[in-house]
């Protein structure tokens, strides 16, 4: 199974950068790395995804290790609205159909 490993929780001060790590040692060559976040009492929402190269969008940046066995979601300036559970996910099974298995994610707490 394509599994990811994330820390259970992290804290950050408001307006400081946050680096959320994810390990995915069983990733296959064609699997994209997706990040979603879930705000309190809401469904998950897409944040960013990438394959090999680092990616940037208006919400965040994604840094992918050269061997693709780990990645880091970067929030450049955390705000109180970024407090959420962040999920790093791959497709499961590696190279199989497009079902996405969520782990328990990282709960990000942003301190004012």
Among 24, 44, 64, 75, binds another protein (CB under 8 A): 44
Q: Are 68 and 54 in contact (CB under 8 A)?
A: no
Burial 43-52 (b: 16+ CB within 10 A, else e): ebeebbebee
| Closer residue to another protein, CB minimum distance, 63 or 101 | 101
Contact 92, 99 (CB under 8 A): yes
Task: Give the shortest CB-111-to-another protein separation in angstroms.
Answer: 21
Q: Looking only at residues 3 through 32 of this chain, which bind another protein when binding is defined by CB under 8 A?
A: 30-32
Q: How far is the CB of 106 from another protein (least distance, A)?
A: 10
Site for another protein in 53-92 (CB under 8 A): 85, 87, 91
Q: In three state form, how does the secondary structure of 56-90 look?
A: ECCCCEEEECCCCCEEEEEECCCCHHHCEEEEEEE
**Single residue of 24, 36, 62, 82 touching another protein by CB under 8 A:** 36
Judged by CB under 8 A, the residue of 9, 11, 45, 69 near another protein is: 45
Residues 81 and 112: beta-carbon distance below 8 Å:
no
Residues near another protein (CB under 8 A) are 30-32, 34, 36, 42-46, 49, 51, 85, 87, 91, 97-105
């Amino acid at each position: 199974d394509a599994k990811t490993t994330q820390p259970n929780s992290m804290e950050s001060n408001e307006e400081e950068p946050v680096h959320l790590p994810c390990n995915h040692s069983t990733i296959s060559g064609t699997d994209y790395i997706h990040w979603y976040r879930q705000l309190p009492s809401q469904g998950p929402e897409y944040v960013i995804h990438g394959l090999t190269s680092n990616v940037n969008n208006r919400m965040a940046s994604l840094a992918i290790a050269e061997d693709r066995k780990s990645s880091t979601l970067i929030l450049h300036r955390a705000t109180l609205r970024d407090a959420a559970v962040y999920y790093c996910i791959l497709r499961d099974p590696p190279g199989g159909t497009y079902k996405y298995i969520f782990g328990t994610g990282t709960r990000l707490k942003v301190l004012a």
